[in-house]
Structure 1
């Protein structure tokens, strides 16, 4: 009956929380297989480690204090028996068991590797299509630019495109708003034909209000006659 009771207590101890440490019953320690000359240094080592751990922590700070305190008591009892020539199995088991729990509680938490940054898709999300003077017809190179944006959309995770038309300062404000809007709509139509839904684009014409290169009024600047495609 005593053996059965001891086994039941060992099983129950596996789920023990630190606050129940006083009721802990540890399984048989391999220290019991050592000769007395080897056993005593092992118990003394655990006793000293428990004292140091208890001093390094504060009551209620974490489980180390509880396990260290119990290990100090039980290892001290085991040492007292050994000094009188007695090998007390219960205190030796408890000394070793609480020391193991103390060491486990003192182990540093595993380092979690930081998530690697998402790799760049390697494609510029901002490109431009340039137009001839007083023209809204798409230039030949527009097809290549559009196809590259469409092909890169999935791998780059783009969900929305801004298509913004611009003009130089060689015409009136109203005229330039109109031609810049037509340029943007023509680029958007090409994008749509290549597979981009109209609802995934914002299409606007800015006229000459956002020059790429500042010029005097009336100057025909090729870099300002453009449609900018920006992916997000």
Structure 2
């Protein structure tokens, strides 16, 4: 009887760990052309005019998405990524307006917007 309980525990642990691995892989997975890590973005290496135009366009797109009823009602994480993109792009715009290119905020803006678009 004791061996039976040990086997049940081992099987249960294997199931739980495999479920955790699947959900972890889903969180870090590839989403139709979107970035997985903001460090993948090469936007900060573009000419400054292109960076400013892209960051501003991403901000407006994310802001508009947050007020779009289909994004709000979506079962996908589109709204969450729109909110994250709006936040990151807003920070990037603030830095750019102050005359500073903050590489990390520009990369996050680019990445989070790509994630938002992939779920739309």
Q: TM-score, normalised by structure 1?
A: 0.35
Superposed CA deviations along residues 120-153 of structure 1, whole A, max 9, x for unmatched, are xxxxxxxxxxxxxxxxxxxxxxxxxxxxxxxxxx
Whichever structure has more strand as a proportion of its residues is 1
CA offset at residue 58 of structure 1? 2.1
Partner residue of 2:57? Answer: 45
Partner residue of 1:31? Answer: 43
Instruction: Point out which structure has higher relative CO (alpha carbons under 8 A, 6+ apart).
Output: 2
Is 1:99 the counterpart of 2:117? The answer is: no
Alignment partner for residue 90 of structure 2, among 73, 76, 79?
76
Whichever structure has more helix as a proportion of its residues is 2
Superposed counterparts of 1:140-159, under 5 Å? none
In the alignment, is the contact (CA less than 8 A) between 1:13 and 1:25 conserved in 2? no
Q: Which ranges of structure 2 fall in alignment gaps of 5 or more residues? A: 1-23, 30-35
Q: Which ranges of structure 1 fall in alignment gaps of 5 or more residues? A: 1-11, 18-23, 107-232
Q: Which runs of 4+ in 1 moved over 4 A?
A: none
Aligned pairs, number: 89
CA root-mean-square deviation: 2.5
1:85 is paired with a residue of what secondary structure?
coil
Superposed CA deviations along residues 204-230 of structure 1, whole A, max 9, x for unmatched, are xxxxxxxxxxxxxxxxxxxxxxxxxxx
